[in-house]
Amino acid sequence: MVAPDDARSAAPVIPNDLSSFWMPFTANRQFKSAPRMLVAAKDMHYTTHDGRTVLDGTAGLWCVNAGHGRPRIVKAIQDQAAQMDYAPAFQMGHPKAFETATRIADLTPPGMNRIFFANSGSEAVDSALKIALCYQRARGQGARTRLIGRERGYHGVGFGGISVGGIVKNRMYFGTLLAGVDHIRHTHDLAHNAFSRCEPAHGAELADDLERLVTLHDASTIAAVIVEPVAGSTGVLIPPVGYLKRLREICDRHGILLIFDEVITGFGRLGMPFAAQRFDVVPDMITMAKGITNGTVPMGAVACRQEIYDTIVEGSPDDAIELFHGYTYSAHPLACAAALATLEVYREEDLFGRAAGLESYFADALHGLKDARHVIDVRTIGLVGGIELEPIPGKPTKRAFDAFLKAYDRGVLIRTTGDIIALSPPLIIDKSQIDRIAETLRDILNAD
């Protein structure tokens, strides 16, 4: 397979041998028998190896919030690579690391102003879990070693993340995982909440499941609870009205840290910088990645309440390293340059406000699919949508995956998880592009 002549100048020649690359979270054999190769991207579109244009309904993997190929971000990365390619972050610093942390802290809820850098969502999650354990120990509560996640949660693929995560396939092959982890129930309830817009009405009381675990384990053994405010990877599960507030209250009552995993919901996806602001609930830590650099350079981060930092840092001897954790590429100069430029683009173009302004149009378009064939639920918030399909009997996931393949053939990139179609377009999408996504899905589903 080679690129067509007109695309060749912009794109690398496509290799004939696809065997060496072991593709992540991919049906390798299926892909390699019929590759879907992307070679260029600009604004709302990808270009495929065979010169087709594909409308990006998923912001890459929920990360390209400002759209593709933004000149300001590209230039910032190029300039930084030329000026200083790398600098260590252990016992050394570079200016953009501090500036990036300050800019991120400007966007987080007040007081969440200490920023630890990682290189992905998975690393951000594992960093947050470790910080939680350190904090509890530093404040004299070292018996608090349990970590609580939620069923259907996705927190990346590190051992910490899959342990607190609640996706069976991500856990079952990998041994005993972290010890001392438990899970509260998920909130997905089609019987009561199907076809809800924004937060579904029923289910705030599911937060009380944390009280059950407190009764079982005792609060004195629990360090932290981690949840996605809106679960993305398991199919856009929006929290019931009042659920997150109740979870916050229970954590406060028992001295348990609350971590919001905002790897997907951060940077405008819900029309606000973070879901914490959208739901008016301030956690103790926020994990983030993806949109932080508009997907251009890998970067993750944890925003912590200042008291967490102070407790760990001031509890250590002077001149000693306080937190025995970090990555070679924490606060990588290229990632910082990309993040600073990205945050400028978000601000200058008011992209979070744009997402808020498009929310109801997006919701109308997706909820208009209610009567399309096989649709058993539509749920939307901000510029995220989930369309749940009735599975083909005996062939779970096939209906949605077939829709993904057909949409790609028709020039629209969607994402599927189980039998759920998840949509999360760049925040620069316009109304006609929203219509195109909805119409393409309607055609595909009704033709099935």
Buried b (16+ CB within 10 A) or exposed e, 49-67: beeeebbbbbbbebbbbbb
Q: Are 385 and 422 in contact (CB under 8 A)?
A: yes
Q: What is the H or E stretch that residue 389 is in? A: strand 384-389
Query: Rounded to the nearest 5 degrees, what angle is found at the Cα of 373, between the Cα atoms of 367 and 379?
Result: 25
Using the rule CB under 6 A, which residue among 58, 120, 170, 187 binds ligand PLP?
Answer: 120
> Which residue's beta carbon is nearest to the bound ligand PLP?
121
d(CA 125, CA 67): 25
Provide the minimum distance between the beta carbon of 155 and ligand PLP in the complex, in angstroms, as a whole number: 5
Where does this chain touch ligand PLP (CB under 6 A) — which range of 117-125, 335-343, 359-367, 434-442? 117-125
Where does this chain touch ligand PLP (CB under 6 A) — which range of 50-58, 76-84, 119-127, 191-199? 119-127
Asked if 54 touches ligand PLP (CB under 6 A), the answer is no
Provide the minimum distance between the beta carbon of 6 and ligand PLP in the complex, in angstroms, as a whole number: 33
Using the rule CB under 6 A, which residue among 154, 260, 309, 329 binds ligand PLP?
Answer: 154
Provide the minimum distance between the beta carbon of 156 and ligand PLP in the complex, in angstroms, as a whole number: 3
Measured from the CB atom, the residue of 339 and 438 that comes closer to ligand PLP is: 339
Where does this chain touch ligand PLP (CB under 6 A) — which range of 13-21, 154-162, 305-313, 359-367? 154-162
Please report, as residue ranges, which positions from 281 to 320 form the binding site for ligand PLP (by CB under 6 A). 289
Q: Are 417 and 235 in contact (CB under 8 A)?
A: yes
Q: Which residues contact 213 (CB under 8 A, 6 or more apart)?
A: 148, 182, 184, 222
Asked if 156 touches ligand PLP (CB under 6 A), the answer is yes
Asked if 155 touches ligand PLP (CB under 6 A), the answer is yes
Measured from the CB atom, the residue of 109 and 156 that comes closer to ligand PLP is: 156
Q: Are 143 and 180 in contact (CB under 8 A)?
A: no
Q: How many residues interact with ligand PLP (rule CB under 6 A)?
A: 14
Q: Are 224 and 147 in contact (CB under 8 A)?
A: yes
HSE value, Cβ hemisphere, 13 Å, CA-based, for 133: 15
Using the rule CB under 6 A, which residue among 109, 121, 283, 295 binds ligand PLP?
Answer: 121
Q: How far is CA 31 from CA 34, 91, 153, 288, 412, in A?
A: 5, 44, 27, 30, 17
Q: Are 225 and 257 in contact (CB under 8 A)?
A: yes
Please report, as residue ranges, which positions from 226 to 285 form the binding site for ligand PLP (by CB under 6 A). 228, 232-233, 261, 263-264
Residues lying near ligand PLP in the complex (CB under 6 A) are found at: 120-122, 125, 154-156, 228, 232-233, 261, 263-264, 289
